[in-house]
Amino acid sequence: MPVRQALRDDLKKALKERDKTATATIRSALAAIANAEAVPVPDDSQALPLGTVGLSSDVERRALDPEDVREILRAEAAERRTALAEYQRAGQQAMAERMRAELQVLARYVEPEEGRPS
């Protein structure tokens, strides 16, 4: 099963189980993937006026291969490992535990050594 589909399926499960940590972590991962798919819109695009608020234009999204998705998830895990170390140095154990829990969620989707808390 593709990683993105596994994330979506697990998000549904986490929502049903009211698992706040898994829900937040998976949503964050899916958002990071969606952001990576976005392409910059040039200023001279064929944007159409959309009422009085702004412009609208359809732009094709970037296609990500499975390795791109895994790399995004590795980066998400790396950010949490960095935050974990900073929280530990600052003596903020509650936040450090939260980062550990988020790393455990991400470990389901990346290689074990990439998502393992330090």
Per-domain residue ranges of the chain: 3-38+65-113
pLDDT of residue 58: 63
Domain 3-38+65-113 falls in which CATH fold? Hypothetical Protein Yqey; Chain: A; domain1 (1.10.1510)
pLDDT of residue 117: 45
Give the tens place of pLDDT for each residue, 23-73. 999 999 999 999 999 887 666 555 555 555 555 556 678 889 999 999 999
pLDDT of residue 89: 98
Closest by alpha carbon to 33, among 6, 10, 4?
4
Q: Tell whether the torsion through CA atoms of 18, 21, 23 and 24 is positive or negative.
A: positive
Give CA–CA dist 46/35, Å, rounded. 22
Give the tens place of pLDDT for each residue, 60-95. 788 899 999 999 999 999 999 999 999 999 999 999
- Calculate mean pLDDT across residues 93-98: 97
pLDDT of residue 114: 43
Tell me the pLDDT band of 1, cut-offs 50, 70 and 90. confident
The structure's pTM equals 0.78
On the 0-12 / 13-18 / 19+ scale of CB atoms within 10 A, 47 is middle
